[in-house]
């Protein structure tokens, strides 16, 4: 492997300009490009590849609070989608990879996917800023052609993510069957035997992650993935045993077509949603969504399952939530709550076979705390 030239890299000056006029200086370790995005912070100590390749991060510039990033490199097995989707990446210090699973360095994959990354920034100071001011629009300038004044102006002029349909940008172009051979990763030497796929599930792709489909397949479900703008008629025409509503980026209120589809299938077949899918189910049940101050982004968020008061350590990535005050509790019950801020983390319809969670059970930071949700989905289909 070619030795990394740290001095040459640090000479590639770059900066982040925020809409409030703040500027943070560092150096470029990714694509030499200028991008706009909503600046958020992620509290995970690892998992940067899964973060970058999660379509839910489309439109966002992700700041890692953990200072040392890059030591595990990048590999094909840990990709959560077909490419890297985050608009930009901000880290304190880039490490050269030193891991037996590494196939390429982080910087090489960022260049390949044309994603800018700034290192050398005081990420603690930036995180403190975002916690205090809330999520901010920002401009990453890594091309060397943009002035700080112009970058701040562009950040202020950008439309942001509110009211924007990013699911249509990240969804699959056409329907496909998830390949069972891709359902398990044996790079750790684990050769699980898959159960028969005796349940047919349609997964609505608003930015779906591969590990969700792996977990559905591990529970004996054959997964047929359909694009975001699939209608209820098209969906029901596949005669599925159940419908899965995937995670995805940006504002759930900007997807009225998705809400219409979900509302039309409620009561006809079992429904299970994750993250954006949770918000869309909430909207389909008559609730409203609202924006959080700085969102939930990380793999260490405690969530209580109210049924038994057990606490799950969860992975999360969302800026919007289902507003608990807008829920009709005679129709929908709250099943999970976030112990950091008491926001809604799970709902279940009292009369119809439908439930959802705000967090990402497939990410498994627990590591297996929430796997029961996939089994519950199967039981719900079996009972029908």
State the DSSP code for 325. G
Tokens standing for 220?
Answer: 């004996």
Q: d(Cα 94, Cα 66) in Å, to the nearest integer? A: 11
Whether 260 sits among the annotated catalytic residues: the reply is no
Under 8 Å CB-to-CB from 339, ≥6 apart: which residues? 302, 303, 304, 311
Whether 285 sits among the annotated catalytic residues: the reply is no
Whether 362 sits among the annotated catalytic residues: the reply is yes
Q: d(Cα 77, Cα 377) in Å, to the nearest integer? A: 26
Tokens 């940006």 label which residue? Answer: 250
Q: Active site residue: 275, 285, 296, 336, which one?
A: 275
Q: Which stretches of the chain are assigned E, i.e. beta strand?
A: 13-18, 23-28, 34-42, 60-64, 68-69, 88-90, 93-94, 117-119, 136-141, 176-177, 199-204, 221-226, 242-245, 271-274, 289-305, 310-322, 332-338, 344-349, 354-357
Are the CB atoms for 297 and 40 separated by under 8 Å? Answer: yes
Are the CB atoms for 30 and 48 separated by under 8 Å? Answer: no
Q: Active site residue: 19, 50, 80, 362, which one?
A: 362
**In the chain, helix, strand, coil percent, each to 5?**
25, 30, 45
Q: Is the peptide bond before 372 cis (omega within 30 degrees of 0)?
A: no
Tokens standing for 211?
Answer: 């590990």
Q: Active site residue: 92, 296, 301, 360, which one?
A: 360
Tokens 């890692």 label which residue? Answer: 64
Catalytic residues: 275, 360, 362
């Amino acid at each position: 492997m070619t030795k990394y030239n740290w001095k040459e890299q640090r000479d590639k000056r770059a900066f982040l300009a925020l809409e409030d006029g703040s500027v943070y200086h560092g150096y470029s370790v990714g694509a030499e490009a200028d991008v706009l995005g909503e600046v958020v912070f992620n509290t995970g100590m690892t998992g940067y590849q899964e973060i970058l390749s999660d379509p839910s991060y489309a439109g966002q510039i992700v700041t890692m609070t953990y200072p040392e990033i890059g030591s595990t490199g990048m590999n094909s097995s840990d990709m959560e989608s077909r490419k890297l989707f985050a608009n930009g990446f901000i880290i304190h210090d880039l490490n050269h990879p030193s891991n037996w699973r590494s196939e390429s360095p982080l910087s090489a994959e960022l260049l390949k996917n044309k994603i800018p990354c700034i290192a050398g920034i005081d990420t603690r100071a930036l995180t403190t800023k975002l916690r205090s001011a809330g999520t901010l629009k920002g401009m990453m300038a890594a091309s060397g052609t943009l002035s700080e004044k112009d970058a701040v102006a562009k950040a202020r002029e950008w439309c942001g993510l509110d009211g924007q349909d990013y699911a249509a940008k990240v969804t699959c172009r056409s329907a496909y069957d998830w390949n069972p051979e891709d359902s398990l990763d044996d790079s750790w030497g684990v050769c699980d035997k898959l159960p028969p796929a005796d349940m047919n599930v349609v997964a609505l792709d608003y930015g779906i992650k591969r590990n969700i489909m792996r977990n559905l397949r591990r529970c004996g479900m054959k997964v047929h993935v359909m694009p975001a703008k699939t209608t209820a008629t098209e969906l029901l025409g596949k005669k599925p045993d159940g419908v899965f509503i995937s995670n995805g980026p940006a504002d759930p209120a900007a997807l009225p077509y998705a809400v219409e589809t979900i509302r039309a299938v409620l009561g006809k077949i079992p429904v299970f949603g994750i993250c954006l899918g949770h918000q869309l189910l909430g909207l389909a049940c008559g609730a409203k969504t609202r924006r959080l101050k700085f969102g939930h982004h990380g793999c260490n968020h405690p969530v209580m399952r109210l049924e038994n008061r057990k606490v799950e350590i969860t992975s999360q990535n969302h800026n919007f939530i289902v507003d608990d005050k807008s829920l009709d509790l005679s129709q929908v019950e709250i099943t999970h709550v976030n112990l950091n801020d008491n926001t809604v983390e799970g709902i279940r319809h009292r009369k119809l076979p439908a439930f959802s969670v705000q967090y990402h059970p497939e990410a498994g930071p627990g590591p297996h705390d929430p796997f029961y949700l996939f089994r519950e989905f199967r039981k719900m289909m079996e009972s029908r």
